[in-house]
Amino acid sequence: MRIRNTLRDCFDVISGWLPRHRQSMTGKVNQRMTEQHPATTHLPDALSSLGQNDQNLDADFDEIRLKREFTQENFKPHAVALCERKVPSSIVIYGLIGGDQQRIIHFPEAYTDGTQKLAPEDYSAYARKNLPEEIKFMGKTIGYVVNYSPDHSIEYDLKGNVVRERSKFLEVAEIRLQIGP
């Protein structure tokens, strides 16, 4: 909502400013401005389309809000392996072998004897212990991120030293393959 209002305010300022200044300019200055900044001739038309896109903008904001609420409700702490490559060398084969899921380290709900749940301070050690050496098509692992909550995660190197804190969790891109329509 705030972004849309800010865009609308900018539109109001520019659409009011530009015509007034164009009318007060002499022909030479107006011609020079158009030659130096050709976009100024089309700016009012481009900005007028912002008002038409309010419904699309509202729908986008609603989708973002719903995704955020879904994430908050269903979030489970987990770790994500960081690799040499950010993008797999062969996306199709990477998707076929489930490479995106190989990067995720799920924390156990409870130990095998069922007596104790894994504490948040133990997440880093558990992730480091279960970190794969290499993920096919992504290369060797160079570190990991522990996603404690949707609003907080910490990146670690292979030795378990903190590299940086993040204000949101690291998402792993999901790969879906579809054959046919």
pLDDT tens per residue, the chain (181 residues)?
444 445 444 444 444 444 444 444 444 444 554 555 555 555 555 545 555 556 666 676 677 776 666 677 788 899 999 999 999 999 889 988 999 899 999 988 765 555 567 888 999 999 999 999 999 999 999 999 999 988 899 999 999 999 999 998 898 887 777 777 6
The helix/strand/coil state of 166 is strand
CA distance 178 to 181: 8
Q: Is the pTM of this model over 0.75?
A: no
Residue-range domain boundaries for the chain: 2-72, 75-166
